[in-house]
Amino acid sequence: MPEIKSQQNMTTDFGKVAVLMGGTSAEREISIETGSAVFDALCRLGVDAHVFDTRDRTLLDLVKEEFNRAFIALHGRGGEDGTIQGALQSMGIPYTGSGILGSALAIDKVRSKLIWKSIGLPTPDFIEVRPESDLKSVPIDLGFPLIVKPVNEGSSLGVAKVSNKYELLSACKKSFALDNRVLIEKWIVGKEYTAAVLNGKVLPMIALETPRVFYDFEAKYKESSTQYICPVDMEDHKKVKLEKLVKNAFYAIDASGWGRVDFMVDEEDNAWLIELNTVPGMTTHSLVPMSANQAGLSFDELVSSILETSINNCRDERVTLQ
């Protein structure tokens, strides 16, 4: 497990920290929950932390107010797609998590799957469609059932399982309201899992069980019936194999620092990579804190370890406003 620094050392090492949260994506409210939880933890740890809603403030304020680093708690576009990472890097402000390339690739479900497939990592068959695409050939290529997803959204927003062409057309229409690129993916029958990566370590996996059709937005944030099984009841050699798959998937996308890999294991015990989240949620319903707790890390220790990932994103030069 990553070594946890003392509160005194953290205050000295990190300086003035901006917790970037809110923003303008469809996941704004979840981001505010994540950012608020992170901010509270940093305050408890004695870090000089400040809330910074990127919807309401200009990033130049980070330079004007002499912030030393940023904890990125922004979900979705503008926060996980390399945009904020590029801005911070250009200003010389260290930030948590993945860099520009890893962030941009991970949020794009199509690009990440193409990379995984290119190096032989398992991911369900899929096609990408746009508003002008002919959807008539989709069932012939992939068969039903299918799962429909906006390419660049998170939190299962706009995601739906479809069993016929009428449902497919309806689901695509709803997804296009969120994104002009939509992923249509082969439905995998099996168990859903997730595994967090933190500073090169794979934290204990979590099995997700829900009475709903799949682990959708309602199951993630609202349903009390969702079950989270951690530790997972699985033979050690299978765990080792899945942990290796998770790390390979994480680094293939050039992710770094921390993140979460979602995957499934079908009825024949085959694993299938679903997606990679570079800024996972840190709310009361979130998975990474559950996994970290199983590994012996409190929420505050987890937040501290994530903030440590900003050390690898340091640059010598800083922007000076005239």
Give 155's pLDDT tier (boundaries 50, 70, 90). low
Position 311 in a domain: no
Position 116 in a domain: yes
Question: Distances in Å between the alpha carbon of 58 and those of 48, 63, 68?
Answer: 20, 10, 16
Active site residue 95: no
Catalytic residue among 277, 291, 304, 310: 277
Position 312 in a domain: no
Active site residue 277: yes
Per-residue pLDDT, averaged over 112-116, amounts to: 97
Distance, first Cα to last Cα, the chain: 44
- What's residue 253's pLDDT? 95
Position 313 in a domain: no
Q: What is the CATH number of the domain that holds 91?
A: 3.40.50.20
119 within 8 A of 252, measured Cβ to Cβ: yes
Active site residue 166: no
206 and 287 belong to one structural domain: yes
Arithmetic mean of pLDDT over the chain: 87
Per-residue pLDDT, averaged over 133-153, amounts to: 85
Position 1 in a domain: no
Question: How is residue 210 written in tokens?
Answer: 């829900």
Dist CA 27 CA 37 (whole Å): 16
Active site residue 48: no
Structural domains in the chain (count): 3
114 and 217 belong to one structural domain: yes
Domain housing 11 = 7-97
114 and 260 belong to one structural domain: yes
pLDDT tens string 258-282: 999 999 999 999 999 999 999 999 9
> What are the phi and psi torsion angles at 249 (to 5°)?
-65, -40
